[in-house]
Amino acid sequence: MNLQEALAALGATPDLLSDAERETLDRDGYLAIPGVLSPEQIEAIRTRLDELLAEEGDEAGKEVHQEAGTERLANLVNKGEVFDVFFTHPKVLAAIAHVLGGDLKLSSLNARFAKPGEGLQGLHADWGRLDVPGNFQVCNSIWLLDDFTADNGATRVVPGSHLFGKKLPSDDMADVSQPHPDEALIQGPAGTVVVFNSHTWHGGTLNRTANRRRAVHSYYTRRQNGQQLDQRANLSPETVARLSPAARVILDVE
């Protein structure tokens, strides 16, 4: 099964996106898709993530990245069927495919919880300077497990910055942790997924509430690129066996 057959088998067809949604992705570099996760799914995912944090302790997130002020988990594909929706949801995959020209594979599936009083990141892009403007290599999706608000560390983006080509935030800003005059906050209810071209400048903001701000990042790259987490090397035989052929293609473990 090739990639296009896999996308079709998962129902991830281009017509799932409206013309307006494609235009938003192209112009702004990000698109909010509301209501992807049901309240029951959100609760099941939160429960499993808390179980993993308790089980893994200080080792949590080490497969990819640990970050001060956050709780991180990685290699989620391998840690429960409840996470399969993050790399098989048809409309999210259709949006990722739109950004990457129909050429994609999962790079990593990670959780990031911004702790109270923490979570601020400098503005950054998830790829270096693009030698060919518009030849996008990476695309991310943020799955909101809590409402994202102006106070709880919602992700900020600079709309249209994916079109800046070789320019990076540090070229414009003396301190990338400071607000950018054109930045916008991603706000929305839990269950929303925000697909964003990862060349768009973005970063977490400070969580000024007393509660964690929880999200999962399902991150994709073109098939010729390496993965942030090598799925083939990290998945158990049992995980690979339970996945559909189409899902294995998305993970590049077919």
Say how far apart CA 214 and CA 154 lie, in whole Å: 10
Give the three-class secondary structure for 157.
strand
pLDDT tens string, the chain, 254 residues long: the values are: 999 999 999 999 999 999 999 999 999 999 999 999 999 999 999 999 999 999 999 999 999 989 999 999 999 999 999 999 999 999 999 999 999 999 999 999 999 999 999 999 999 999 988 878 889 999 999 999 999 999 999 999 999 999 998 889 999 899 999 999 999 999 999 999 999 999 999 999 999 999 999 999 999 999 999 999 999 999 999 999 999 999 999 999 97
- Please tell me the distance from the alpha carbon of residue 51 to that of residue 69, in angstroms, as a whole number: 19
Which residue range forms the structural domain that includes residue 75? 3-251
Q: Give how many domains the chain has, as a whole number.
A: 1
**pTM metric for this prediction:** 0.96
Within the chain, strands assigned E span 30-33, 70-73, 105-114, 138-144, 155-157, 184-185, 193-197, 202-204, 213-221
> What is the SS3 assignment for 7?
helix
d(CA 231, CA 24): 31
* pLDDT score for 151: 96
Q: What is the DSSP letter of 152?
A: B
What pLDDT does residue 125 have? 94
Q: Which tens digits make up the pLDDT trace of 68-114? A: 999 999 999 999 999 999 999 999 999 999 999 999 999 999 999 99
pLDDT of residue 69: 92
Amino acid in the structure at residue 205: T
- Here the CATH number for the domain that contains residue 124 is 2.60.120.620
| Region class of 24: left (phi > 0), else alpha (psi between -120 and 50), else beta | alpha
